[in-house]
Amino acid sequence: MSKKTILENLQTFGVKKVLTYLDSNPNKNIPRILDWLIIADKENKYVGKQAQAVKNIFVSSENNWYRLIKSLWTDVDDGVRKKMFENFVINACLIGGKRQDKAKEKNECNIPWTILLDPTSACNLHCTGCWAADYGNTLKMDYDTLDSIIRQGKELGVYFYVYSGGEPLVRKRDIITLCEKHSDCAFLAFTNGTLIDEEFADEMLRVQNFVPAISVEGFEEETDSRRGNGTYQAVMRAMKILRDKKLVFGISSCYTSKNTEIIGSEEYFDDMIEKGAKFAWFFTYMPVGVDAVPELLATAQQREFMYRQIRAFRETKPIFTMDFWNDGEYVNGCIAGGRCYLHINANGDIEPCAFIHYADSNIHEKTLIEAFKSPLFMQYHDNQPFNDNHLRPCPLLDNQGRLAEMVEKSKAKSTELQNPENVCNLTAKCEKAAEEWAPVAERLWHEAHG
């Protein structure tokens, strides 16, 4: 056994011992485990800063973050909480982060923190503006390939895997089997939620390392108008099942020109918290695919509205929120191209981002590390960040011409199988949004950073 493996095993053993007494008195022992994390992260690069920030929260029992953390004891199954803490905080962030840094130094390329996978392109819904239909609803990544990706990823320090699609829960059985086999990993799925039933929730409770992020477009009218009649009520049933079984879940909301004011409202946040959501991912609509609807792009004013609302609610609401574009300032710009994450579609194409459907590598032909060293991924590596203003992180939505330049230089091809999309046509659909957002982003950046 290598020195590295011994040290990693000692860290895992240490946190397991800590977790054995953590439940006895959370108020007293949570600060102790945070101290342990701060000490374990000597470089203060992986979990130390976050642990110190959480520790500071415990100064007051009145703030929203304290209430969120305490709810993990009142609302979440003990085994699920322990397993997710071990896999996400220790394996994915602390141990995995160190292993990723060594791999970056050795290979001189990006190594991701998480990998986004499409087990299938099939979906039981047909939402307005979604690209899933472009795949013909026929593609499926076989189990052995999914397993190989995870095994390769763990060698590089990747212990966090996210599923999308299509609808990933079309592959329920394989997803649970992968959770069992890779019990040291944390898994999340972006799902429409309609396939979550009592049986699947029981399987989640058994494996303990799978968390759904359920797509909601607002309230019933907004959700059903984009996803189909009855979808909202199906989602509410799924949330109740998960909440009753004390399982962790969150939401994923795409804000568009049609629903931004609803998605960003206090009423919506409060309702999702009441339903049991512990976290929320926010995405702005991207006009990807020939059947995309550019009119759904949020305006610059709506994007600023979400910027301000999410930051305000972070100070008051007991829910952890992430805004894929507007939080670029916290992660130094674009996180795609393997810098923090990448996307592998159901055909095996290794794409820089879920919203960038171009590739020069396929998992059936290359290993992960070979793909990370490919011309397209090295274009990302050599050009990130794409703007000094990290409120303009994206090479497609925020920085006109940057994506087209990288695609052309790398000779990457469109991964849209039925209707390949010329990269110049794609970027043209975002040109107006980029021009209008630029001055707003500059003003917001100046307000925040001087």
pLDDT for 373-403, tens place per residue?
A: 999 999 999 999 999 999 999 999 999 999 9
Q: What is the pLDDT of residues 209-245, one digit of tens each?
A: 999 999 998 888 877 777 788 889 999 999 999 999 9
Residue 6: its pLDDT value, please? 46
Task: Note whether 322 and 232 are same-domain residues.
Answer: yes
First-to-last C-alpha distance (Å) of the chain? 51
Per-residue pLDDT band for 113 (boundaries 50, 70, 90) equals: very high
Final residue in a domain of this structure, among 68, 103, 138: 103
Indicate whether 183 and 311 sit together in one domain: yes
87 and 162 inside one domain: no
pLDDT tens-digit readout, 400-438 = 999 999 999 999 999 987 789 999 999 999 999 999 999
**pLDDT value of position 134:** 44
Confidence class for position 172, pLDDT limits 50, 70, 90: very high
Q: Are residues 67 and 171 in the same domain?
A: no
Asked if residue 166 and residue 48 are part of one domain, the reply reads no
Last residue of some domain: 103, 133, 162? 103
Of 14-28, 89-103, 320-334, the range with the lowest mean pLDDT is 14-28
For the whole prediction, is pTM greater than 0.85?
A: yes
Would the pLDDT of 32 be above 70? Answer: yes
pLDDT-derived band at 135, boundaries 50, 70, 90? very low
283-298 pLDDT, tens digit per residue, is: 999 999 888 889 999 9
Q: What is the pLDDT of residue 224?
A: 76
Q: What percent of the chain has pLDDT over 70?
A: 91
Q: Domain check: are 310 and 398 in the same one?
A: yes
- Residue 11's pLDDT band (cuts 50, 70, 90): low
Which residue type sits at 398? D
Say yes or no: 91 and 167 in one domain.
no
Domain that holds residue 18: 3-103
- The percentage of the chain sitting over the pLDDT mark of 90, rounded to a whole number, equals 72
For the segment 36-63, what is each residue's pLDDT rounded down to a tens digit?
Answer: 777 777 777 777 777 787 777 766 667 8
pLDDT on residue 1: 44
In this predicted structure, the answer to whether residue 3 has a pLDDT above a threshold of 50 is no
Domains: count for the chain: 2
Query: What gap in Å lies between CA 56 and CA 43, rounded to an integer?
Result: 20
Whether residue 64 sits in one domain with residue 128: no
Neighbours of 229 (CB within 10 A): 10
Domain boundary (103, 130, 165) is at 103
Does residue 129 surpass a pLDDT of 60?
A: no
**Helix runs in 260-399, H state only:** 260-263, 266-275, 300-313, 368-372, 375-383
Name the residue among 99, 103, 93, 101 with its Cα closest to residue 160.
Answer: 93
95 and 179 fall within a common domain: no
| Contacting residues for 155 by C-beta, under 8 A, at least 6 apart | none
Tell me: pLDDT of 14 over 90: no
**Residue 321 three-state SS:** strand
Least confident range from 52-61, 207-216, 301-310, 342-351: namely 52-61
CA-to-CA dists, residue 310 to 66, 67, 294, 299, 305, angstroms = 18, 18, 24, 17, 9
On whether both 84 and 115 belong to a single domain, the answer is: no
Looking at the fold, whether 81 and 157 belong to one and the same domain comes out as no
Q: What is the CATH number of the domain that holds 262?
A: 3.20.20.70
* Whether residue 274 is found in the same domain as residue 348: yes
Q: What separation in angstroms does the CA of 200 have from each of 231, 243, 272?
A: 18, 13, 22
In the three-class reduction of DSSP (H, G, I as helix; E, B as strand; rest coil), residue 111 is classed as coil
